[in-house]
Structure 1
């Protein structure tokens, strides 16, 4: 199979390689019932040493930056309670945690979740967190620029490997909501 974007030699439909994914991601792919068929979620094998965006696009091509998205976990605090949420933003931007994210979550304060918390609560590896397989009760705030892309490159749940899927799939994930002013570019 040829990957829909990027110069990847080893691309396979995600349902055919569930053993390469973390349990929450594999479970989400296995049970996927959205309008985009699960077979259009593509797994590409990549070097975990270059999983971070800058190193990844330097190796695989700068043109991938425009088709890549990062999933960041945030901690929202209000009245002594803390809740977690995820933001899916273009890799070239950053989440507007003090503006759009805070307002949308109705929080007094929002910050990036500590690495240990993000890893423990998602069941994914830091540097590979993906919106596919997040806890279903978490809000997933999606930048419209991501949802509008023909294909989006995101983490696979591990530092090794990435997932490529049509942008509209991310708007159909559990808890997903398109938020227009989500990222600062």
Structure 2
């Protein structure tokens, strides 16, 4: 079992052994990873799922937390989606880097109900594992370089502990310098 130095007061277990703490698409994606036992999961109070509250309550570093946001834009009547993964200390450059990558006139955060419906994950727990296969997963270079990160698990009642290298190796992942600002 991996020892997570960023765990704070969390009790971390191998995620593959606790599928009940994961959204269904996340559990399926996790099982497909080359080393699924290297991903940890920790149960948390769902009311503390938002990054700042989570970090304060569990003693996790904000600098070792990453947020996943769903972004959308239209081009020639076609709606395009992507997931952006940036450190919690930054914000995704939606109207610069993401807009150009999606090749749309304007990019914006997807409406909550749309993001929840399309990802089959809970708002506040959306994660890059298990997203629709056709979506690009845009990973900030700082996230990809991180040795340990805390991210969502698809539900508000737990968090995943994972390496940046694992996130950068996900299907459809694209590591992008300057995605997080």
TM-score relative to the length of structure 2:
0.95
For the pair 1:45 / 2:43, whether they are aligned, the reply is yes
Runs (4 or more) in structure 1 with deviation over 3 Å come to 1-4
- SS of the residue corresponding to residue 66 of structure 1 reads helix
Paired with 1:181 and 1:14, the residues of 2 have a C-alpha distance of: 30
What does the per-residue CA deviation read over 1:65-110, in whole Å, with 9 as the maximum and x for residues that have no partner?
0100000000121122111110000011111111011111111110
Query: Where does structure 1 lack aligned partners over 5 or more consecutive residues?
Result: none
- Distance verdict in 2 for CA 1:4–1:15, change over 3 Å: farther
Cα displacement (A) at 1:3: 3.7
What is the alpha-carbon root mean square deviation over aligned residues? 1.3
Paired with 2:72 and 2:117, the residues of 1 have a C-alpha distance of: 14
Paired with 2:57 and 2:10, the residues of 1 have a C-alpha distance of: 14
**5 Å matches for 1:124-135?**
124-135=121-132
Q: Which residue of 2 aligns with 1:11?
A: 12
1:147 to 144, 147, 161: 144
**5 Å matches for 1:49-64?**
49-61=47-59, 64=61
CA contact (8 A) 1:153 1:162 kept: yes
Query: Where does structure 2 lack aligned partners over 5 or more consecutive residues?
Result: none
